[in-house]
């Protein structure tokens, strides 16, 4: 009978594909923004978006903002890893970003809505999906109201969509609570997940 080979030193590993997701207003942008500062050796994917930027958003930092026509041309040319139409606008991930990061050996973190995360689940079964939630429904609703960027009709659509998104939460690998005034704890939890995943006896492998 063959005996298992003894392993010493650092376990073998592959670059990880990590998806940060959750309902609208749950704090994905803030979480990813702080992860950028604390994980400088990680590649953070910039999502492409067909909507106009909000006043505080910067093209090339928060999103790549393109016209609807340009986005549809990229869909036709199969240049996107995933894409979806969310609240009447397109969002998507260019394939080239992820492939180049993996080629350099870097982990990749994506910020996606739940619909996009489910697409990645189908394309890349070994991707790590993290679902962000608030400590209570009241906390989450207050965040949406404080943004003051949605009409009453748009808010109602977000409430309906969130119910559908929570219904697929069990398809994610991890659940992380992102509470008000406790962003550092959220980051610590996500970093602990990443460290643990790099110590797996059977490394994940993402093929694109």
Provide the annotated active-site residues.
54, 147, 158
Q: Residue 99 in 3-state DSSP?
A: helix
Please provide the size of the chain in residues: 208
| Angstrom distance (rounded) from CA 5 to CA 106 | 28
**β-strands 48-49, 89-94 pairing:** antiparallel
Q: Helical H runs in the chain?
A: 28-38, 68-76, 95-103, 114-123, 137-147, 152-166, 183-197
Burial class, 140, CB count within 10 angstroms (exposed 0-12 / middle 13-18 / buried 19+): buried
Q: Are 17 and 98 in contact (CB under 8 A)?
A: yes
What crossing angle do the helices spanning 28-38 and 183-197 adopt, rounded to 10°?
60
Nearest to 23 by CA among 133, 141, 188: 133
CA distance 35 to 33: 6
């Amino acid at each position: 009978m063959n005996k298992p080979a003894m392993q010493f030193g650092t376990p073998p590993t592959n670059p990880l594909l990590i998806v940060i997701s959750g309902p609208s207003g749950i704090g994905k942008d803030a979480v990813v923004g702080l992860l950028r500062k604390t994980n400088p050796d990680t590649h953070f994917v910039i999502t492409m978006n067909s909507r106009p930027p909000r006043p505080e958003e910067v093209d090339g930092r928060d999103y790549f903002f393109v016209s609807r026509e340009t986005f549809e041309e990229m869909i036709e040319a199969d240049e996107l890893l995933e894409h979806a139409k969310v609240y009447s606008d397109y969002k998507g991930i260019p394939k080239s970003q992820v492939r180049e990061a993996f080629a350099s050996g870097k982990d990749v973190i994506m910020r996606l809505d739940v619909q996009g995360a489910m697409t990645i689940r189908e394309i890349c079964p070994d991707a790590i999906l993290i679902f962000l939630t608030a400590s209570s429904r009241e906390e989450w609703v207050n965040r949406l109201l404080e943004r003051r960027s949605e009409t009453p009709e748009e808010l109602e659509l977000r409430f309906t969509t969130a119910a559908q998104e929570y219904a697929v939460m069990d398809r994610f690998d991890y659940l992380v609570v992102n509470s008000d005034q406790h962003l550092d704890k959220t980051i610590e939890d996500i970093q602990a997940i990443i460290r643990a995943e790099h110590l797996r006896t059977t490394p994940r492998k993402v093929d694109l």
